[in-house]
């Protein structure tokens, strides 16, 4: 896996792919499709950078809010013909496939780049990449590691894969949207596979932290003390601190990653595991724990609510009703 260098494409790169680099990045028109928490954060940062941003979402209120911030609305699929880059931030395979086939491919101009920042299956990325090539367009998969708060602060980690010329074309955008860019190959499916792997690690970490905090709490150790000891010793990763902090503070709303989306991501990872004969018993377990949250009526909560589920099962709370968030100590 090669890390992308934080610099503009070299003259040699530009010479190899003149069509892909013919338009200056400063002159790009960027369409943003999907204005959830992530898509809105991306669009606002692009506007702040002085980009011309076209906004599209099924919810007119989201589009209107972004128009007030300086974006231009896309009233029909034909509006994407002005885009040099179409950035999609959509919830799943079904939504991304529909938008790509019904709205983007037939309207984007030759040489335009579809920059997909959605968490979807590797197979779909490969399919969409092939479809775009048939129309002389480019497709780059660039899912992210991080949450909406990190997106707002440009602190995301971006994983990109696609044809070299296309990645070079969108590199300046990706380096502005996150704190670090990793380019993992020419096959766009690889970026999505790595993203799914990262989400499995986060989910299993959440489950293990939930279990340990419940154990220590039942044993008489204040969970804030336990959290302080653990995260300031051997377990001081970003995931332990950020998501463990949500469990300790009972901050399950608003959801950075809602439980149904986490279920979707674990399901996609398990499908890849089955396809490649790579057993993932822990991922299977956590997938079922997330499904249990949905069954218990907690679908709108953040996936860190695995801590709430564990607390209920350990008898520390009576239900999956999320309490009001506790205020962190002064």
Cross-strand partners of 85: 30, 113
Residue 141 bridge partners (DSSP): 116, 161
Identify the active-site residue in 68, 195, 246, 264: 195
Using CB atoms within 10 A of its CB, is residue 294 exposed (0-12), middle (13-18) or buried (19+)?
Answer: middle
Both tokens assigned to 265: 């991501």
Look at phi and psi of residue 224 and say left if phi exceeds 0, alpha if psi is from -120 to 50, else beta: alpha
Report d(CA 141, CA 104) in Å as an integer.
Answer: 15
Contact 309, 293 (CB under 8 A): yes
250 catalytic per annotation: no
Q: Do the beta carbons of residue 190 and residue 182 sit within 8 Å?
A: no
Which among 295, 299, 296, 300 is positioned nearest to 318, based on CA atoms? 296
The H or E element spanning position 72 is strand 72-73
**Rg of the chain (C-alpha set):** 21
Among 206, 210, 157, which residue's Cα sits nearest to residue 179?
Answer: 157
Q: Identify each DSSP E strand in 142-188 by its residue range.
A: 144-145, 156-162, 178-183
* Measured distance CA(241)–CA(251) in Å, rounded: 13
Secondary structure, 3-state, 123-181 = HHHHHHHHHHHHCCCEEEECCEECCHHHHHCCCEEEEEEECHHHHHHHHHHHHHHEEEE
Residue for token pair 């960027």: 30
Task: At 142, give phi and psi (nearest 5°).
Answer: -140, 60
Strands 2-3 and 178-183: antiparallel
Q: Which of 56, 17, 20, 51 is nearest to 36 (CA)?
A: 56
Task: Show which residues are catalytic.
Answer: 195
């Amino acid at each position: 896996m090669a890390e992308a260098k934080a610099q503009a494409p070299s003259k040699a790169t530009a010479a190899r792919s003149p069509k892909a680099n013919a338009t200056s990045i400063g002159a790009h028109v960027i369409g943003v499709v999907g204005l959830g928490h992530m898509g809105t954060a991306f669009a606002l940062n692009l506007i702040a950078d002085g980009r011309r941003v076209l906004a599209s979402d099924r919810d007119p209120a989201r589009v209107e809010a972004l128009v007030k911030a300086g974006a231009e609305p896309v009233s029909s699929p034909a509006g994407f013909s002005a885009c040099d880059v179409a950035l999609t931030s959509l919830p799943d395979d079904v939504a991304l496939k529909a938008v790509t086939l019904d709205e983007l491919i037939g309207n984007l101009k030759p040489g335009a780049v579809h920059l997909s920042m959605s968490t979807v299956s590797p197979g779909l990325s490969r399919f969409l990449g092939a479809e775009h090539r048939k129309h002389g367009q480019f497709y780059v998969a660039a899912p992210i590691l991080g949450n909406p708060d990190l997106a707002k602060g440009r602190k995301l980690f971006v994983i990109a894969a696609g044809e070299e010329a296309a990645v070079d074309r969108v590199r300046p955008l990706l380096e502005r949207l996150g704190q670090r860019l990793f380019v993992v190959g020419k096959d766009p499916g690889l970026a999505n596979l790595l993203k799914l792997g990262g989400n499995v690690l986060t989910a299993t970490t959440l489950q293990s932290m939930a279990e340990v905090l419940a154990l220590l709490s039942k044993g008489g150790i204040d969970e804030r003390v336990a959290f302080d000891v653990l995260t300031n010793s051997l377990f001081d990763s970003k995931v332990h601190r950020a998501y463990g902090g949500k469990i300790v503070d009972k901050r399950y709303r608003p959801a950075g990653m809602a439980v149904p989306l986490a279920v979707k991501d674990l399901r996609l990872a398990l499908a890849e595991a089955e396809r490649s004969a790579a057993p993932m018993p822990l991922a299977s377990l956590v997938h079922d724990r997330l499904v249990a949250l949905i069954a218990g009526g907690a679908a709108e909560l953040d996936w860190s609510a695995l801590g709430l589920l564990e607390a209920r099962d350990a008898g520390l709370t009576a239900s999956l009703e999320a309490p009001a968030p506790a205020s962190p100590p002064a």
